[in-house]
């Protein structure tokens, strides 16, 4: 299993370098943003779902 490098950063610092943090997440690293009240938030990469074929979408493309 591949080990992820984790970054923990305060929310004030994260505001200044959000683009860099997004690049880190895109490269497979884990980023945790912490708030002064102790709450923590993880930035997660969301991959788009592949569209599903609809019934009849190949109509006229296949001949028998």
pLDDT digits (tens, 9 = 90+) for 23-63: 999 998 999 999 999 999 999 998 877 878 788 777 778 77
CATH of 6-43, one of 2.70.170.10, 3.40.50.300, 3.40.1620.10, 3.40.47.10: 3.40.1620.10
Residue 1 confidence (pLDDT): 46
CA torsion sign for 28, 19, 12, 46 is negative
Q: Which residue matches tokens 């923590």?
A: 40
Phi and psi, residue 43, nearest 5° = -85, 130
Residue 2 confidence (pLDDT): 55
Structure tokens at 1: 């299993």
For residues 10-21, average pLDDT: 91
Instruction: With residue 42 as reference, give the H or E element that holds it.
Output: strand 40-43
């Amino acid at each position: 299993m591949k080990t992820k490098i984790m970054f923990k950063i305060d929310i004030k610092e994260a505001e200044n370098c959000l683009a860099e943090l997004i690049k880190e997440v895109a490269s497979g690293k884990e980023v945790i943003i912490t708030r002064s009240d102790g709450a923590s938030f993880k930035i997660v990469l969301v991959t788009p779902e592949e569209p599903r074929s609809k019934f009849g979408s190949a109509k006229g493309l296949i001949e028998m």
